[in-house]
């Protein structure tokens, strides 16, 4: 264990034989503060680029949840987000992409970016 880990273990009064998960749980107060308590921390998306005639033609975006609110043993496993959460994720991506001129069409929980020829 490196000096950073030792310092973190000391900070949370953990012995040198404590598991890394114990340090993480102590730091986040068992998911009640810091990143694990933020819903956004548990959301992501997978982009699938579709090529036509050897060039990218569109990007399909599938929103993913990593289990915000799940028990700790069930968090972190990627799942396709249900429709309300998928829409939330895609609308956030629309907003973030707009300043760059990227338009994301949302339909049935999937985002599509059409790349002009």
Q: Residue range 98-102: average pLDDT?
A: 97
6 has pLDDT over 70 = no
pLDDT digits (tens, 9 = 90+) for 7-64: 878 888 888 888 777 776 777 766 676 777 778 889 999 999 999 999 999 999 999 9
Closest CA to 48 of 61, 30, 39, 37: 61
What pLDDT, on a 0 to 100 scale, did the predictor assign at position 3?
A: 53
Looking at the fold, whether 99 and 48 belong to one and the same domain comes out as: yes
Q: Residue range 91-116: average pLDDT?
A: 97
Looking at the fold, whether 109 and 71 belong to one and the same domain comes out as: yes
Looking at the fold, whether 32 and 59 belong to one and the same domain comes out as: no
Looking at the fold, whether 46 and 97 belong to one and the same domain comes out as: yes
Tokens 């973030």, residue? 96
4 has pLDDT over 70 = no
Looking at the fold, whether 26 and 49 belong to one and the same domain comes out as: no
Looking at the fold, whether 28 and 65 belong to one and the same domain comes out as: no
Looking at the fold, whether 48 and 59 belong to one and the same domain comes out as: yes
- Other residues' Cβ atoms within 10 Å of the Cβ of residue 111: 24
Looking at the fold, whether 61 and 14 belong to one and the same domain comes out as: no
Domain of 31?
1-36
Confidence band for 2, pLDDT divided at 50, 70 and 90: low
What pLDDT, on a 0 to 100 scale, did the predictor assign at position 108?
A: 97
Looking at the fold, whether 29 and 45 belong to one and the same domain comes out as: no
pLDDT digits (tens, 9 = 90+) for 58-84: 999 999 999 888 877 788 899 999 999
Closest CA to 62 of 102, 109, 96: 109
5 has pLDDT over 70 = no
Looking at the fold, whether 43 and 5 belong to one and the same domain comes out as: no
Looking at the fold, whether 112 and 62 belong to one and the same domain comes out as: yes
Burial degree of 15 (CB within 10 A; 0-12, 13-18, 19+): exposed
What pLDDT, on a 0 to 100 scale, did the predictor assign at position 44?
A: 97
């Amino acid at each position: 264990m490196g000096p950073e880990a030792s310092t973190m273990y000391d900070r949370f009064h953990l012995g040198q034989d404590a598991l890394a998960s114990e340090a993480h749980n102590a730091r986040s107060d068992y998911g009640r503060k810091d990143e694990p308590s933020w819903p956004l921390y548990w959301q992501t998306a997978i982009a699938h680029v579709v090529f036509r005639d050897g060039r990218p033609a569109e990007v399909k975006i599938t929103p993913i949840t990593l289990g915000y609110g799940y028990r700790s043993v069930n968090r972190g496993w990627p799942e396709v987000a249900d429709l309300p959460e998928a829409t939330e994720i895609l609308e956030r991506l629309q907003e973030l992409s707009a300043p760059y001129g990227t338009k994301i069409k949302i339909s049935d929980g999937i985002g599509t970016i059409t790349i002009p020829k």
